[in-house]
Amino acid sequence: MNDIKEKILLKGNVAIAKAAIEAGCECYFGYPITPQSEIGEYLSKAMIEENRVFIPVESELAAINMVIGAGSTGTKAMTSSSSCGIALMQEAISAMCCQQIPGVIVSVMRGGPGLGNIAPSQGDYNQACYGGGNGDYKIIVLSPSTVQESIDLTYLSFHLAFKYRCPVMLLADGILGQMMEPCEIGNYPYKNYNYDIESWALDGAKNRKARNLISLHMDLGELEKLNYELNKKNIEIEKNEIRYDKYLTDDASIIITAFGTVARVAKAAIKQAREMGIKAGLFRPITLSPFPSNELYNTINENTKVVLDIEMNLGQMLKDVRSSVFGKCDVKFTGKPGGGIINSDEILQKIIDLNNNIES
Amino acid sequence: MEKSIIIAGYGGQGVLFAGKLLSYAAIIENFNTTWIPSYGAEMRGGNANCSVKLGDDEIGSPIINKPDILITLNTQSFYHFEKNVKSGGTIFLCGDEDEIVKSRDDINYVFISLKKITKNIKQLSFLNIVALSAMIRKTGMLKIESLILALNKLIPKDKLNILTSNIEAIKLSAQIVFDNKNSKVLV
Q: Check which CATH number belongs to the domain holding A311 and give it.
A: 3.40.50.920
Query: How do the pLDDT tens digits run along chain A, 360 residues long?
Result: 444 447 899 999 999 999 999 999 999 999 999 999 999 999 999 999 999 999 999 999 999 999 999 999 999 999 999 999 999 999 999 999 999 999 999 999 999 999 999 999 999 999 999 999 999 999 999 999 999 999 999 999 999 999 999 999 999 999 999 999 999 999 999 999 999 999 999 999 999 999 999 999 999 999 999 999 999 999 999 999 999 999 999 999 999 999 999 999 999 999 999 999 999 999 999 999 999 999 999 999 999 999 999 999 999 999 999 999 999 999 999 999 999 999 999 999 999 999 999 887
Query: Which band of pLDDT confidence, cut at 50, 70 and 90, is reported for residue B183?
Result: low
Q: Is B176 exposed, middle or buried (0-12, 13-18, 19+ CB in 10 A)?
A: buried
Q: Is B86 exposed, middle or buried (0-12, 13-18, 19+ CB in 10 A)?
A: middle
Same domain for A82 and A178:
yes
* Residues from chain A contacting residue B20 (CB–CB below 8 Å): 9, 180
* Residues from chain A contacting residue B59 (CB–CB below 8 Å): 181, 264, 268
CA angle, residues A245, A246, A250, in degrees to nearest 5: 160
Nearest CB to A180 within list B23, B57, B58: B23
Q: CATH number of the domain that A41 lies in? A: 3.40.50.970
Tell me: pLDDT of B187 over 50: no
CB contact under 8 A, A119 and B39: yes
Query: Which band of pLDDT confidence, cut at 50, 70 and 90, is reported for residue B126?
Result: confident
Which pLDDT value is given to residue B161?
85
Q: What is the dihedral of CA A124, A125, A130, A132, to 10 degrees?
A: 0
Q: Which residue has the higher pLDDT, B166 or A189?
A: A189
Interface of A with B (CB under 8 A): 1-2, 4-5, 7, 9, 118-120, 174-175, 178-182, 261, 264-269, 271, 341, 343-345
Same domain for A190 and A291:
no
How high is the ipTM of this complex?
0.91
CB contact under 8 A, B33 and A9: yes
DSSP, res A120: B
Tell me: pLDDT of B42 over 70: no
Contact (CB, 8 A) for B178 and B133: no
Which pLDDT value is given to residue B160?
86
Q: How many domains does chain A have?
A: 2
CB contact under 8 A, B30 and A179: no
Same domain for A351 and A291:
yes
Domain boundary among A240, A275, A310: A240
What are the structural domains, with CATH classification, of chain B? 2-186 (3.40.920.10)
Which domain, by its residues, includes A350? 246-359
Same domain for A74 and A161:
yes
Domain boundary among A219, A240, A261: A240
Same domain for A214 and A298:
no
Q: Which long-range contacts (CB under 8 A, 24 or more apart) does A113-117 make?
A: A114/A84, A115/A84, A116/A83, A116/A84, A116/A338, A116/A339, A117/A338, A117/A339
Which pLDDT value is given to residue A230?
97
Radius of gyration of chain B (CA): 15
Same domain for A254 and A227:
no
Domain boundary among A217, A240, A263: A240
Percent of chain B residues topping a pLDDT of 90: 57
